[in-house]
Protein backbone atom coordinates (compact mmCIF):
# COMPACT_ATOMS: atom_id res chain seq x y z
CA UNK A 1 0.00 0.00 0.00
CA UNK A 2 1.10 3.53 -0.74
CA UNK A 3 0.69 6.78 1.14
CA UNK A 4 -2.72 7.25 2.86
CA UNK A 5 -3.64 3.61 2.22
CA UNK A 6 -3.90 3.97 -1.54
CA UNK A 7 -2.66 1.11 -3.68
CA UNK A 8 0.50 1.66 -5.67
CA UNK A 9 -0.04 1.86 -9.43
CA UNK A 10 0.81 -1.31 -11.35
CA UNK A 11 4.24 -1.46 -12.97
CA UNK A 12 4.45 0.11 -16.41
CA UNK A 13 4.03 -3.04 -18.54
CA UNK A 14 4.51 -1.20 -21.84
CA UNK A 15 7.78 0.55 -20.95
CA UNK A 16 11.27 -0.42 -22.02
CA UNK A 17 13.90 1.60 -20.17
CA UNK A 18 17.17 2.62 -21.82
CA UNK A 19 20.09 4.14 -19.94
CA UNK A 20 22.55 6.38 -21.78
CA UNK A 21 25.35 8.79 -21.01
CA UNK A 22 26.30 11.84 -23.07
CA UNK A 23 29.87 11.67 -24.43
CA UNK A 24 30.17 15.46 -24.30
CA UNK A 25 29.11 16.39 -20.75
CA UNK A 26 28.73 13.00 -19.04
CA UNK A 27 25.10 13.44 -17.99
CA UNK A 28 23.27 10.14 -17.49
CA UNK A 29 19.72 9.75 -18.78
CA UNK A 30 16.92 7.26 -18.31
CA UNK A 31 14.82 7.04 -21.48
CA UNK A 32 11.35 5.52 -21.59
CA UNK A 33 10.37 3.65 -24.77
CA UNK A 34 6.71 2.70 -25.16
CA UNK A 35 6.35 -0.71 -26.79
CA UNK A 36 2.96 0.22 -28.26
CA UNK A 37 3.91 3.47 -29.98
CA UNK A 38 7.68 3.88 -30.30
CA UNK A 39 8.69 0.57 -31.91
CA UNK A 40 8.33 -0.18 -35.61
CA UNK A 41 8.06 -3.68 -37.11
CA UNK A 42 11.34 -4.86 -38.63
CA UNK A 43 11.19 -6.61 -42.05
CA UNK A 44 13.22 -9.55 -40.73
CA UNK A 45 11.00 -9.95 -37.64
CA UNK A 46 10.98 -8.25 -34.29
CA UNK A 47 11.07 -4.49 -33.90
CA UNK A 48 13.20 -1.46 -34.67
CA UNK A 49 13.64 1.83 -32.80
CA UNK A 50 15.23 5.05 -33.99
CA UNK A 51 15.35 7.58 -31.13
CA UNK A 52 16.76 11.06 -30.59
CA UNK A 53 17.74 11.85 -27.00
CA UNK A 54 18.90 15.12 -25.44
CA UNK A 55 20.34 15.73 -22.01
CA UNK A 56 19.60 18.80 -19.90
CA UNK A 57 23.18 19.94 -19.41
CA UNK A 58 24.84 20.54 -22.80
CA UNK A 59 21.70 19.98 -24.93
CA UNK A 60 23.47 17.92 -27.60
CA UNK A 61 21.43 15.31 -29.41
CA UNK A 62 22.29 11.65 -29.21
CA UNK A 63 20.97 9.38 -31.95
CA UNK A 64 20.12 5.80 -31.11
CA UNK A 65 19.17 2.81 -33.25
CA UNK A 66 18.11 -0.44 -31.62
CA UNK A 67 16.76 -3.73 -32.87
CA UNK A 68 14.58 -5.99 -30.71
CA UNK A 69 13.36 -9.56 -31.10
CA UNK A 70 9.66 -10.51 -30.77
CA UNK A 71 10.03 -10.67 -26.97
CA UNK A 72 11.53 -7.14 -26.82
CA UNK A 73 15.06 -8.33 -26.05
CA UNK A 74 17.74 -6.07 -27.53
CA UNK A 75 19.53 -7.72 -30.47
CA UNK A 76 21.69 -4.73 -31.44
CA UNK A 77 22.17 -1.15 -30.32
CA UNK A 78 24.11 1.85 -31.59
CA UNK A 79 24.32 5.35 -30.16
CA UNK A 80 26.13 8.34 -31.62
CA UNK A 81 27.00 11.22 -29.29
CA UNK A 82 26.80 8.98 -26.23
CA UNK A 83 27.00 5.43 -25.01
CA UNK A 84 24.68 2.94 -23.37
CA UNK A 85 25.12 2.29 -19.65
CA UNK A 86 23.51 -0.17 -17.24
CA UNK A 87 20.69 0.60 -14.83
CA UNK A 88 23.20 0.10 -12.00
CA UNK A 89 25.54 2.71 -13.51
CA UNK A 90 22.60 5.12 -13.80
CA UNK A 91 21.45 4.43 -10.22
CA UNK A 92 24.98 5.02 -8.88
CA UNK A 93 24.62 8.75 -9.56
CA UNK A 94 21.69 9.06 -7.15
Question: pLDDT for 41-89, tens place per residue?
Answer: 999 999 999 999 999 999 999 999 999 999 999 999 999 999 999 999 9
Total domains in the chain come to: 1
Strand blocks (E) in 1-94 = 15-22, 28-34, 40-41, 47-54, 61-68, 74-80, 82-84
Domain that holds residue 63: 12-91
Question: pLDDT for 7-33, tens place per residue?
Answer: 655 668 899 999 999 999 999 999 999
Residue 59 has what pLDDT? 96
Helix (H) or strand (E) holding 87: helix 87-91
Residue 86, in any domain of the structure: yes
Cα distances (Å, whole numbers) of residue 36 to 32, 41, 57, 72: 12, 11, 30, 11
Residue 1, in any domain of the structure: no
Residue 4, in any domain of the structure: no
Residue 22, in any domain of the structure: yes
Residue 5, in any domain of the structure: no
Residue 24, in any domain of the structure: yes
pLDDT at residue 94 above 70? no
Residue 7, in any domain of the structure: no
Find all residues with CB under 8 Å of 17, minimum gap 6, and list them: 30, 31, 32, 33, 87
Residue 13 has what pLDDT? 86
Residue 2, in any domain of the structure: no
Amino acid sequence: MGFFGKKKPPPDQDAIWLYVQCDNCGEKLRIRVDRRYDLQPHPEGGYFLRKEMMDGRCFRLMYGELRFDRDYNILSQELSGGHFITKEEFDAQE
